């Protein structure tokens, strides 16, 4: 009996030892829960690579990857302006030595051509002595300014690199309020960032940002450093160039503005082809037709733009336009406000007469106006 008991004890000990070894090293052999085993060991179950690579529903991954490669960061440097009184001992006594460190800035840009043309904002590169472009693949190069258009706050740069990624140009004229969009740029210099939102409004103007305003408004987060970056649709096609925000804090408050691609494309083609943008100009001071102005000039019509001033010997004066006239149409296109008037006149070809429909003292009048070339705007410090 004693021998049987000893044999049973030895057999049990061997089986328990074997169970412990198997449970520790090969738990799946026992069919136990593999997540938690003796000693607190955790076995993780990972998804297959095929499932991990699948795009989640509602993801903008494809659009972001497609467009991000062509969005660049722009670093600018401008020599410090020396105060004319810097050498005056009394000036140095009261104000100390003024620093001569260069001013630096940052922004974004979009590669729109395989030959190296980059669209960005004029205020990003205005007055810069050196412009450095950093691509999304970490390549760095210097850029030169091909041309600028302060009236729309756009600038064209050029870089000399091979195998450049190029963004696909979208059609901003088909954009509707509520469409989903992505904003891509380098906010605050933290590195390329993608934010999402919708188109909040179209045709925003009279904001006092540019001379010609026709902004796409979006709630996609745009911050300092995003200027010149891309506003793209959910297919990764370029719809506009991010240019400004409305903010009381300096950061995004959900109101950002982008220059539509229809405007940017005209500027790009004009600068690359002719080296400048040529716009029509007639030399008038227009105002929206408010009830006060209508009463002052004894105007009964409520549609059109009233002219409150005419430049002497300018194109409008030579054509017979006078203060108090109301411009109703330009080349059969109705004019409802000052923004439409400016855009319509700017699109006219200088030197080619165009029919203007005018109301003078409530009487219709047809005048042929030959526009001149719009003078270049004065460069203002930003």
- What confidence score (pLDDT) does residue 37 get? 43
- What confidence score (pLDDT) does residue 213 get? 81
Question: For this structure, is 153 an active site residue?
Answer: yes
pLDDT at 33 over 70: no
- pLDDT tens sequence across 307-349: 999 999 999 999 999 999 999 999 888 888 888 888 889 888 8
- pLDDT tens sequence across 108-153: 999 999 999 999 999 999 988 899 999 999 999 999 999 999 888 9
Q: How distant, in Å, are the alpha carbons of 283, 317, 323, 325 from that of 309?
A: 9, 10, 5, 10
Q: Which of 73, 108, 227, 357 is catalytic?
A: 227
Judge whether 80 and 100 are in contact, CB under 8 Å: yes
pLDDT at 94 over 60: no
Residue ranges of the alpha helices (H) in 39-128? 49-53, 61-68, 89-95, 122-125
- 142 phi/psi in degrees, rounded to 5: -85, 150
Share of the chain above pLDDT 70, in %: 79
Q: Is 246 exposed, middle or buried (0-12, 13-18, 19+ CB in 10 A)?
A: middle
- What confidence score (pLDDT) does residue 22 get? 65
pTM of the predicted protein model? 0.71
- What confidence score (pLDDT) does residue 88 get? 67
- 83 phi/psi in degrees, rounded to 5: -65, 130
pLDDT at 198 over 90: yes
pLDDT at 39 over 90: no
Tell me which residue has tokens 């990972």.
Answer: 46
Alpha-carbon torsion angle 320, 324, 326, 331, nearest 10: 20
Q: Which of 151, 153, 219, 233 is catalytic?
A: 153
- What confidence score (pLDDT) does residue 67 get? 94
pLDDT at 380 over 50: no
Residue 156 token pair: 């064209």
Q: Which of 68, 108, 123, 219 is catalytic?
A: 123
Question: For this structure, is 227 an active site residue?
Answer: yes
Residues 6+ apart with CB under 8 A from 321: 282, 284, 307, 310, 327, 356, 358, 367, 369
Arithmetic mean of pLDDT over the chain: 83
- What confidence score (pLDDT) does residue 99 get? 58
- pLDDT tens sequence across 168-197: 999 998 999 999 999 999 998 888 999 999
Judge whether 65 and 167 are in contact, CB under 8 Å: no
- What confidence score (pLDDT) does residue 83 get? 60
- Taking residues 86-95, report their average pLDDT: 62
């Amino acid at each position: 009996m004693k021998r049987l008991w000893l044999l049973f004890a030895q057999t049990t000990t061997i089986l328990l030892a074997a169970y412990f070894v198997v449970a520790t090293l090969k738990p799946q052999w026992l069919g136990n829960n593999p997540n938690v085993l003796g000693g607190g060991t955790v076995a993780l179950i990972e998804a297959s690579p095929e499932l991990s690579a699948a795009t989640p529903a509602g993801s903008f991954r494809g659009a972001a990857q497609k467009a991000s490669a062509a969005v660049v960061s722009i670093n600018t440097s401008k020599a410090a302006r020396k105060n004319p009184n810097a050498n005056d001992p009394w000036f140095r006594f009261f104000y100390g030595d003024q620093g001569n460190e260069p001013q630096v800035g940052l922004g974004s840009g979009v590669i729109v051509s395989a030959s190296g043309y980059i669209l960005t904002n004029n205020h990003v590169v205005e007055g810069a002595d050196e412009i450095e472009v950093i691509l999304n693949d970490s390549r760095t190069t210097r850029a030169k300014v091909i041309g600028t258009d302060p009236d729309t706050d756009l600038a064209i740069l050029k870089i000399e690199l091979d195998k450049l990624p190029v963004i696909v140009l979208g059609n901003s004229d088909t954009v509707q309020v509520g469409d989903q969009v992505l904003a891509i740029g380098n906010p605050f210099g933290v590195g390329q960032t993608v934010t999402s939102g919708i188109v909040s409004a179209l045709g925003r103007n009279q904001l006092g940002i540019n001379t010609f305003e026709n902004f796409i408004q979006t709630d996609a987060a745009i911050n300092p450093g995003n200027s010149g970056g891309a506003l793209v649709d959910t297919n990764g096609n370029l719809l506009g160039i991010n240019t400004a925000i409305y903010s009381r804090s300096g950061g995004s408050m959900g109101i950002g503005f982008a220059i539509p691609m229809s405007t940017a494309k005209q500027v790009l083609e004009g600068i690359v082809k002719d080296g400048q943008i040529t716009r029509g100009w007639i030399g008038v001071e227009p105002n929206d037709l408010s009830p006060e102005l209508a009463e002052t000039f004894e105007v009964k019509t409520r549609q059109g733009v009233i002219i409150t001033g005419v430049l002497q010997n300018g194109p409008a004066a030579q054509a017979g336009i006078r203060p108090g006239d109301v411009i109703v149409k330009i080349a059969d296109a109705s004019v409802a406000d000052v923004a439409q008037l400016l855009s319509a006149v700017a699109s006219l070809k200088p030197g080619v007469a165009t029919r203007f429909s005018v109301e003078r003292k409530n009487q219709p009048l047809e005048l042929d106006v030959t526009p001149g070339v719009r003078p270049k705007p004065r460069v203002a410090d930003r």
